[in-house]
Each structure stands twice: as structure tokens, then as C-alpha cells.
Amino acid sequence: MDRTTDVIIIKSIDQLPSVDEIKSISRERALKLIFKGKINKQREQIGQNLEYELSGFQVLIHTIDPELNIIKLITDKEIEDHQYFFEQCAKDYRKLGERLVLMFVDKLDLNLNTDFALYTFNDLKQDHRQIGTVGEWRYSVHGFHCGFQNIITRQYIEVSLVFGLEFGDLDPYFFVKFILSSQNYHPLPIPLFEEYADGSRIIKKMTSLRKFEEIPSNVPGHTGIAVTDREKVEIKSDLDLEKIFVKHIEEIKKKSKFNLWKFLSLKR
């Protein structure tokens, strides 16, 4: 969604809008402060002060251009008022993610590792099938994820592969991108403008409302977030995985010292 941007030229300190004036702007409007003359030397410090004063806002300090960009993020009240919408979106995300993974492995005739899905998808990186199309969906396997985009509707979802058969992990950026790209949600009951920043606030608030919860990962030191009201699945730890893949590990040990991250073809 797009915002209207209000531009204010700042030539002296007294031309700066007050914190209260900035707080009064709606989320549908962005504020751009363009600094001219000697006042530009204070721009970075002014931006840092505004970051401190403006909770619930994003203050972007441009590194080259003499400007500050200020946007109001989705509020806790807006999230709480629309908690059932975001909860349903998370359920839909999980359902679609699972459907696409199962369709994907079926169409490509893969043997899905039900303990650690990434193990199956990593094979695609070795035989030049990392990017391609299955049915109406274009896919891209990368890192811990497989991204899917519908070539007709443009709906987009990023499915995490390091939670066993749990495919509903919610990344702030990709959760909001999923909502914005899903035509069945439009018109949205609440405007969303900043994929990552709004998404982070949504996930944090929904977790505090106990609509979302933290989930463990197959990968050490990594956790995720999923909708609380779901059918729970077992997610094995990295220690469990070492037992599961003991034969593969022993083969690798013969050649070099075993390293889980190298085994997964990933970097820390």
C-alpha cells in the first residue's frame, strides 16, 4: 500500500515540527524533512533524538541525501482490534505452506524427510533444480526456506524448512508480504505499509496476546513463531538429527571432521 508524503524544508531548528505534531500524523501519511544549509550538520543528531522520542515510529536517517523520513507504524491497539484477522492469516499461511511443500515433493518425485525437510530440499541445490516452476507456482530454494509465488495471482509465501513438518513459521517481512499479496484479504481491514517493521510489531503483539507462540527449530540456536491454535507437530532437535542421520554422518566423518553446518550446506 502507498502513503502520501508530506515534505517540509528545514533551514533552521525552529522549523522542525514538534514531537507532538509528528505523533499526530496518520499512518497513511509519511513525513520527509529535507535539511538545507548549516542545519544539515545537525541532521543525524536530530534523527537520533527523534528515534528516541517517537516510540512506534520509524525514523530513517539518509546516509547521503540531506533528509529524514518518518513513518508511523501499526499500533498495538490496531493489532489487538484486528487480532482475529491476523490469527486467520497465520492459519492460512501455515495451511498453504504445508500444501505447497507436499505438492512440491510429489511433483518432483522427492522423498520428503519428515524429521528435517531442509535435508530433502538441499538436494535440489546440487542438481540445478534450486529454481523452477511447479504447476502455477514458481519456487526458489535458498537458505532455510523455499519461496513460492503464484504466477497468476502473484500471491507470495516463504516456507521455512527447519521445523520438521511444521510449515507455519512466521517471518515478519514475509508474513506481511503474504497478506498484501493474497487477494482474498482485500480490501484489507487494516492498512499495512511497512513489511518488516509492521510485521515485527504484529508478531510481537500477537505473541503477547498468546495468539502466536515461539516454536523450537531443528537448527541449534534458532527458533520460530507460529499461530498458537494449530495441530502441534514434533520438532526434533539437532541432537536428535545427529542420531537420525548417523549413517550419513559416519560417512562424512571418514573424510573430515563432522560439522553440522557443513553437512547442511549452510553457513552460520
Q: What is the pLDDT of residues 24-70, one digit of tens each?
A: 999 999 999 999 999 999 999 999 999 999 999 999 999 999 999 99
φ/ψ of residue 220, rounded to 5:
-60, 140
Q: Are residues 157 and 231 in the same domain?
A: yes
Residue ending a domain, among 45, 72, 99, is 72
Query: Considering its fold, how many domains does the chain have in total?
Result: 2
How do beta strands 29-35 and 4-10 pair? parallel
Q: What's this model's pTM, rounded to 2 decimal places?
A: 0.86
Domain identity same for 103 and 170: yes
Are the CB atoms for 259 and 245 separated by under 8 Å?
A: no
Taking residue 23's Cβ as centre, other Cβ atoms within 10 Å add up to 14
Question: Is residue 246 a part of any domain in this protein?
Answer: no
Q: Are residues 111 and 207 in the same domain?
A: yes
Are 90 and 222 part of one and the same domain?
A: yes
Which of 49, 72, 95 terminates a domain? The answer is: 72
The cell for 101 is 511443500
Which residue range forms the structural domain that includes residue 197?
78-237
DSSP 123: G
- Position 237 scores a pLDDT of 77
Does residue 263 fall inside a structural domain? no
- Listed residues 43, 72, 101: the one ending a domain: 72
CB 235 within 8 A of CB 214: no
Same domain, 161 and 84: yes
Is 245 inside a domain boundary? no
Q: Are residues 42 and 104 in the same domain?
A: no
Average the pLDDT over 200-221 and give the result.
95
Of residues 73 and 268, the one with the higher pLDDT is: 73
pLDDT over 90 (residue 1)? no
- 86 and 56, same domain (yes or no): no
19 and 89 assigned to the same domain: no
Q: Percent of the chain scored above 70 by pLDDT?
A: 88
Q: How far apart are CA 36 and CA 149, in angstroms?
A: 44
Q: Are 61 and 114 within one domain?
A: no
In a domain, 248, yes or no: no
Q: With respect to residue 95, please indicate whether it lies within any of the assigned structural domains.
A: yes
Asked whether residue 36 falls in the same domain as residue 116, the answer is no
Strands (E) in 11-56, as ranges, are: 29-35
Same domain as 18, residue 120:
no
Beta bridge partners of 72: 57
Instruction: Indicate if 33 and 148 belong to the same structural domain.
Output: no
Rg (CA), the chain: 23
pLDDT value of position 255: 46
The better pLDDT of the pair 236, 89 is held by 89
Mean pLDDT of 214-219: 93
Mean of pLDDT over the chain: 90
Rounded Cα distance, 100 and 137, in Å: 9
Distance CA 244, CA 218 (A): 12
Does the structure show a pLDDT above 50 at 268?
A: no
